[in-house]
Chain A
Amino acid sequence: MNVTPPKSLGELFLGFLSIGARSFGGVMPWAHRVMVEERRWVDEADFAETIGLCQFLPGPNVGNASIVYGKRWFGLAGALVAFLGLFALPFVWVLALFALYADFAATNPTLRAVVTGVGAAGAGMFIGTAVKLGRVLARRPAALALIATCFLAAGIGRVSLFFVLPVSLAIAIFCARRGLL
């Protein structure tokens, strides 16, 4: 496949703008569509590798990817431009939507009920995602034990992640080095 990186900061900005603008129901599929299929900035393998890295890093996956690719093509200016392009429209839209919602929700209990229902469905999507990702890992007892412990500590016990993350990460890296994960 012929890969042609963006030629200008303007092109980079517009590409990420169009990812952000259309990213209903998740940014990742749109990032793939724009960068790999439509504009052919990168190939499949490159995209998968970069997203893999960004999933391991803290922070929003595609936000991090905008930094990594922006840096690769245009240095600091590229990283900033790609990041701003990605967030510009969604930022405005989410605030507008929320302002609109807050306005109507004050007097309308049905609207509040509908939005709470959307939230519960969103919660279900998280649970579904966790099961999807967890199924692959669950063959290892140590992985299952880690998932359960993290859930009990963070979800049920409401222990701060600032404590749970470092502790569980230390245990998990130890297990991984022993070949248990």
Chain B
Amino acid sequence: MTLLELTLYFMLLSLISVGGMPSVLPELQRYAVDVKQWVTPQEFIQIFAVGQAAPGPNVLIAALIGWKVAGLAGALLALAGMCGPAAVLAWWVADLWDRFKGSPWRTAIQRAIAPIVVGFILSGGFILATPGTPDWRLWAIAAATAAGMLLTRINPLWFLAAGGAIGGLLLS
């Protein structure tokens, strides 16, 4: 039953994941933590961290949630659910999209989606940095990383490493 629920939920999530995993992170957190209590808020940020530190598309966070809920089968089904419907849509839309090049509706949709995705990604960042009660240490790490990313051209992996080092010092 849980497997079915997990798969169906990720299939639905797949369809609204405009902008990729970052956009739907607020929704995933709301459902997996608040509604279903599959994972705690602290586990959620750790799952996210492992997903970020490992190579690969960040939809793999879905596989990790599935793994937490139902082991390997859960991981496979969650990932398939998260990618499947979107992949089917990509399959059908690719040709259509080419045909509507220059159409005013295509331009309108592109323009409309951009600010929404930005709002959702911002939400995802805020929610991740605020598991449970607000913690200034997590906010400081997040703010420093955001600033570093905007002001320098350093490889982002260094920010993850620095965040880990500072976390080890401040949070334990």
The segment from A1-9, A34-42, A93-101 that touches chain B is A93-101
Cα A118 to Cα B161 with chains together (Å): 7
Cα A86 to Cα B48 with chains together (Å): 20
Q: Is A10 an interface residue (CB 8 A)?
A: no
A97-149 residues at the B interface, CB under 8 angstroms: 97-98, 101, 105, 109-110, 112-134, 137, 143-144, 146-149
For residue A155, which residues in chain B have a CB less than 8 angstroms away from its CB?
26, 119, 122-124, 126-127
Cα A21 to Cα B56 with chains together (Å): 7
Q: Is B87 an interface residue (CB 8 A)?
A: yes
Contact of A91 with B168 at beta-carbon distance under 8 Å, contacts A63-B59, A129-B121, A155-B127 already known: no
Q: How many residues of A contact B (CB 8 A)?
A: 89
CB of A154 within 8 A of CB of B56, answer no
Name the contact of B83 in the complex, choosing from A60, A149, A160 (C-beta under 8 A). A60
For residue B8, which residues in chain A have a CB less than 8 angstroms away from its CB?
none
Q: How many residues of B contact A (CB 8 A)?
A: 105
Cα A129 to Cα B150 with chains together (Å): 8
> Interface digits, B20-35 against A, CB 8 Å rule (1 contact, 0 not)?
1111111100110010
Q: Is A12 an interface residue (CB 8 A)?
A: no
Name the contact of B45 in the complex, choosing from A101, A109, A120 (C-beta under 8 A). A120
Q: Is the interface of A mostly helix, strand, loop or mixed?
A: helix
Contact of A158 with B26 at beta-carbon distance under 8 Å, contacts A91-B56, A151-B123 already known: yes
For residue B94, which residues in chain A have a CB less than 8 angstroms away from its CB?
53, 67-68, 71-72
B119-172 residues at the A interface, CB under 8 angstroms: 119-129, 137-139, 141-150, 155-157, 159-168, 170-172
Q: Which residues of A come within 8 Å of B, CB atoms?
A: 20-27, 52-64, 67-68, 71-72, 79, 83, 86-87, 89-91, 93-95, 97-98, 101, 105, 109-110, 112-134, 137, 143-144, 146-151, 154-156, 158, 160-162, 165, 168-169, 172-173, 175-177, 181
Q: List 8 A-B contacts (CB under 8 A).
A: A56-B18, A60-B86, A90-B60, A101-B50, A120-B142, A129-B22, A155-B126, A162-B12
Task: Known pairs A119-B52, A123-B129; list 19 more (Cβ under 8 Å).
Answer: A58-B17, A59-B14, A68-B94, A72-B94, A90-B60, A91-B56, A93-B54, A93-B56, A114-B164, A122-B128, A123-B142, A127-B146, A151-B123, A154-B119, A160-B27, A161-B24, A169-B112, A177-B104, A181-B115
